[in-house]
Chains A and B, each alone.
Chain A
């Protein structure tokens, strides 16, 4: 069996059985990255020396009998997570020269679990995008078809895992940035409940929506990694102090009797027919495995995209004000005065979409407009959240599509922000309400993967992971690989 076609759980078992060493496994992935990354552009920084040092440490820990379940498993971090001593660019010219002086909590915890850092993955600039075309380092290609986007903003992580250049990768999800790329490249992705995973050291985009998660070959792998990442962190003021369940053990929660809720609004809005048919077939499969199905409705859900495009830009304009050209990041040449320094450093350092969102946010927060836009959007957010809560009295897990279509052509939507924003029509609701949600591969349209989305109530990660796992035990869509992944 080839090493890289295995899931994280299978690799971990191989390491535990001493079938291969962490160093051998790491060398295998580094060779794959070297061979395939020029075509995919999934990594912006590759860290071979660090990876081999981590791997040697992992092998030594195993020899000393101190290995945990993830010891020696290689992974990649989205370049939004600060990594001490390693450039953390966030896909932006602004941070092209930024060497993070500390580790994000996610990085620290996964390192403590014995994982091996292969490198940092490409992303939409400051996580603002749904196609990975806004990166300062260029577009990432979809491994299933190099003319297509991999989705975004965690597009580099998604492409790296889909092409098996890394067994697993971290991502962040503010409006769908883990689930939508996972769907578009045919892998499994989870965005946990808001507050479940620490945001410390994760470059902030929209603080009330941002959440870190995992992109992996399977739900079982997501459970393994999430267990190592999640938990209370006093350094993040919104981190929730609540015990972390044993997600891997709870994968065995039975699907029998689980009430699936089919969201009416998800089937009405711009859903491509072939994608919808695959999602319906996946839901029927879950029913055949013992789940029941009820129709549910969140009537305000169609307003989630407009609410998001007020709240997210508002928070982004505030968060990104820290990039001033003074303490770190890009500074323009020969500033005339302080104002010129700010304006040109930011004008040069940020790309077009980031500037668009900063300006949208600046406008909706400005005097005289705050109530009409920001306050109104936060009220609609309350409505949507209450409707989800109501839906969860009738259903345990909400199901629907992750994205309205399979991957689209690179360049097809870059000139029309609204069309691009509507890619996230099914994913944004979970962010607005802080709910955990996943995308699971459920078939192909013209050779391109399609994702099924599962949304759970707050802190019900185990429930959606178990449903996804039951589905993956009965199907093999998540095991299919693009030609570049075999």
Chain B
């Protein structure tokens, strides 16, 4: 277990270094070293590394971790191995708010888009949560999924409607909708990354309670757990993490779905180990996907959401072939 973590962390560092070296122009290790530790504000290489490569690497790691932890929590919450954070309608809500604001109010400052995306994600999360409660106030996982699908479709329909009428916005939004880590503005990103990081740590501490719930409702109730409150807290964390991720990078798909499966395979199914493993593996995967996305069709760049789907889908199919034995 420990070995696994250390191995993972080492791999992460290697990939991070690789990511900072990769781009339309490849920089050598020594150039990178100089830029990071003996930086010279007038050298072009240093400027690029500081303004573009480092933030992008940090962003990739952060978003990957958020998505994976949100996915792990979601799968434990709904006890459904096919659940992903997108089921809360987070991606759809964020997209709708952004598209609406940029079409009708022409709001497009990077800071405001972050805020809009996050509020959109939270708004739909709340909507789905309310729609999925049964008469005695309990959260029913099946209804959660159904409500999530319906509200996602509704938000997507509105978004599509606006983009058909305002065709100009389509060109702008397309890359965001496809999932992209290429933000040109760095400053407003860090508060969101910080919030996400805090949520990841809270989630890992919360893992114990979640695993009790995962064992079954009756068992949990028998052990004296307040199921409704645990579910509420878990939902809040999922929406928060997924909201941060979507605000930073748009619509990135497979990470929340696949990484928890891999984490379970490698680290066992106890949530106390799986959630931190999810964070690590999510960061690794998204970083790897971003590196490939940047080099595969130079000089242009593939949106990273497309890359994760292209890399994740075959893997998912492989998982499916193994026969569908899952926890929960």
The answer to whether A and B assemble together is no
Q: Which residues of B come within 8 Å of A, CB atoms?
A: none
Q: Which residues of A come within 8 Å of B, CB atoms?
A: none
